[in-house]
A and B are shown apart, each in its own frame.
Chain A
């Protein structure tokens, strides 16, 4: 049976998806607590394990920025990159180990006294636990955020080259350049969504196989960890590439 998202419909197009909200909050909390724990006993000479790990992440993101653009000028985006990679990686991982499903009967279910939307069906199962990155709304939110940042920074710091690049190499390339610009957030957000959503769908399919599927499940979850890490890296990398392209003009360009 297909799982529904536990959505409460309000007027004016406001659809509160509690699974999404829970996962956003949980992922943010895990990311924040992890980062906070890692800086709990900061030490210059004798860093703890978590501090070492977090410093490694910082170095890693610094290298990503260095690869994508000029690190000296891209340094201000270090915190953005770190937040992105932590949030996306943790989000990708959270959907893997388990799910939490409630069943609803007689065409009616409530959550905190609010009626859940059941699409007119009598029987439904609600999935409360998923990767926040397995939802296109959330990945597109992240993608649009960074793309908007890249455009704002492009206009603020690099106006001449930023505006000029729409007319390059010739003015009649403008439509193509605009399509390219519009496609960036789409590809950025949907790539992440597609990878993680497909992973979760695949886990659902394997679970449908019953006991036979356990080795396949282990294998696929391992692979999903890999995919999740790669996607977090790719998202951060592309963010830095886009911001670098738009806002940091390289002299030898």
Chain B
């Protein structure tokens, strides 16, 4: 054998290894590293977007909760408002009804008064006529009718004051 150590092989091996290193680096590992980096980036992006989606969903849920809360509060307010409006209206209606009743009563009373006065007036007229008639029948034309009616009026006035 030519000895254990062969300088020619040694040099060839160093050169060959250098060439292999360059070739592998250029044609195999550079694209491979690029792809692996791209995949790492993709996974990172997807994780980021998943995280973002999760945050968005949480935010959305929070918004919905607040909106629900708001709606509940508004509904409550509306009910309260309706309740108070209702009771106010009821009060108003009752008051209006009471006023109307008072007004009707007053009107009726006034009507009654007026009717009474009218009745009294006609009664007075009739009474005076009748009394003239009676008096003329009784007195038999002692006094002319006009004087007679004046007298009756005077008496009746006095009667009216006393009554």
A residues engaging B (CB < 8 A)?
2, 4-5, 7, 9, 13-17, 20-21, 24-25, 28, 31-32, 35-36, 38-39, 42-45, 47, 51, 54-55, 58, 78-80, 82-83, 86-87, 117, 119, 132, 135-138, 140-142, 144-145
For chain B, residues 1 to 24, give those with C-beta under 8 angstroms from any C-beta of chain A: 1-2, 4-14, 16-21, 23-24
B33 within 8 A of A: yes
Chain A residues lying within 8 Å of B24, measured Cβ to Cβ, are 31-32, 35, 79, 82-83, 86
Which residue of the partner chain, among B7, B14, B19, contacts A145 with CB atoms under 8 Å?
B14
Are A21 and B12 also in contact (CB < 8 A) when A28-B20, A44-B42, A119-B1 are?
yes
Residues on B close to A: CB < 8 A? 1-2, 4-14, 16-21, 23-25, 27-29, 31-33, 35-36, 38-39, 42
Question: Chain B binding site: helix, strand, loop or mixed by DSSP?
Answer: helix
List of B residues within 8 angstroms of A13 by Cβ: 7-8
User: For residue A75, which residue of chain B has the nearest CB?
Assistant: B33
Having A24-B16, A44-B42, A119-B1, one finds 8 other A-B pairs with CB under 8 Å, namely: A2-B1, A32-B23, A32-B24, A58-B29, A78-B33, A132-B13, A137-B6, A140-B5
Q: Which residues of the partner chain A approach B13 to less than 8 Å between Cβ atoms?
A: 20, 24, 132, 137-138, 141-142
A141 touches B28 (CB 8 A): no
Specify which chain A residues have a CB less than 8 angstroms from the CB of B14 in the assembled complex.
141, 144-145
Q: Could you say which residues of chain A place their CB within 8 Å of the CB of B5?
A: 136-137, 140
Given A32-B20, A83-B20: A5 and B28 within 8 A (CB)? no
Of listed B7, B13, B39, residue having the most chain A CB within 10 A: B13
Provide the bound-state CA to CA distance between A2 and B2, in Å: 13
Contacts A7-B2, A31-B24, A145-B17; A138 near B35 (Cβ below 8 A): no
Nearest chain A residue, comparing its CB with the CB of B2: A7
Counting from the closest, the 3 A-B pairs by CB-CB distance are: A35-B28, A141-B13, A137-B9
